[in-house]
Structure 1
Amino acid sequence: MRRVMILLAPIAALAAGLVVARRRFVVVRISGASMLPTYRTGDRVLVRRTTGAGVRRGQVVVLQTALPGGKWRTGPLPPPGAARWFIKRAVAVPGDPVPAQVMARVEAAPGDPVPAGRLVVLGDGPVSEDSRAWGYVPFDRVLGVVVRRLAPSAESAGS
């Protein structure tokens, strides 16, 4: 019996580790050109789940889409596979000056700081729906931060 327990312990630890990893990380497939040339349609990225409070300037974040007019949903985020997500770069975090290209949308004056609990995000590409259209992104609409690009999946490699 002791020998069986010794053999099962590593398997149980591995299973527990996989459960934690699935809660902590998610894979998101890119669709659209707003992050060109950094990411292209079909790219897959590994995302570490965090709220906006865990985001630093310059990181690429995955966030829930805004409603028309730049309004934001409230309540818990949907499961990763059950929603459409945006991928953008965080260009300003709380306390940073509001970027010039967003000032008019958020009615900020030069030198005004990004308020607590909010981010400013922009796409890397020339055409992007981002904080220029929505204004500030609430921390609770952030799914997580991109950790790395993954190898193409078999289904996207064949297309």
Structure 2
Amino acid sequence: MTSSDWLTPVVLILAAALMVESVRQLRRRWVLVKVEGASMEPALRDGDEVLAKRTRRVAVGDIVVVAAPDPELGWAEAPSAKPASRTSARRAKAPWWVKRIAAGPGDPMPGSTGTVPPGHYFLLGDNPAGADSRRHGPVPARLVLGTMIRKF
């Protein structure tokens, strides 16, 4: 067997491994989320898809992707950093919400006399008919997946 006989399969295997790693890296940095409902109209409509960049750097006015709140508890903080309950496991697979940041930590909460607690954001939909922080309270910053870069 000559070196050229085994060189081609090795190059193909390396190219495939490089492609797999590239896709893995892209998925760690970017996420595509489908908009459901009318809460972000007119900016985003039901069925639109948004490309979001995973980041913790967000600002007031940004459209962000966040973990959906529990229907009864809202965005209540878990008692520990690594909760072991079934609710926490289910929440990790929760659907994503797309909302706009209306206020950051220390800012006045819209429609309230209080301020946004440290480490939280107050989210609003562009359409007042949707559910957002007015119903579920401020979202913990750790539940923000990232900011919208583009809609499709």
Same fold per superposition (TM over 0.5): yes
Q: Pick from 31, 40, 49: which aligns with 2:54?
A: 49
Q: Superposition pairs for residues 3-152 of structure 1, below 5 Å? A: 4=8, 12-50=17-55, 53-67=56-70, 68-72=72-76, 74=78, 75=83, 78-79=92-93, 83-95=94-106, 97-101=107-111, 103=112, 108=114, 112=115, 114-150=116-152
Say if 1:66 and 1:73, in contact at 8 Å, map to a contact too. no
Structure 2, unpaired ranges of 5+: none
Paired AA for residue 72 in structure 1: A
Q: Distance in 1 between matches of 2:66 and 2:29?
A: 15
Q: CA RMSD in A?
A: 2.5
Q: TM-score, normalised by structure 2?
A: 0.74
Structure 1 residue runs of 4+, over 6 Å off? Answer: 5-8
Structure 1, unpaired ranges of 5+: 151-159
Q: Per-residue deviation at 1:69? A: 4.5
* Number of residues of Structure 1 aligned to a counterpart in Structure 2: 136
More helix by share: 1
Q: Per-residue deviation at 1:12? A: 4.3
Q: TM-score, normalised by structure 1?
A: 0.71
Partner of 1:70, secondary structure, is coil
Q: Per-residue deviation at 1:49? A: 2.0
Instruction: State the structure with more CA Rg.
Output: 2
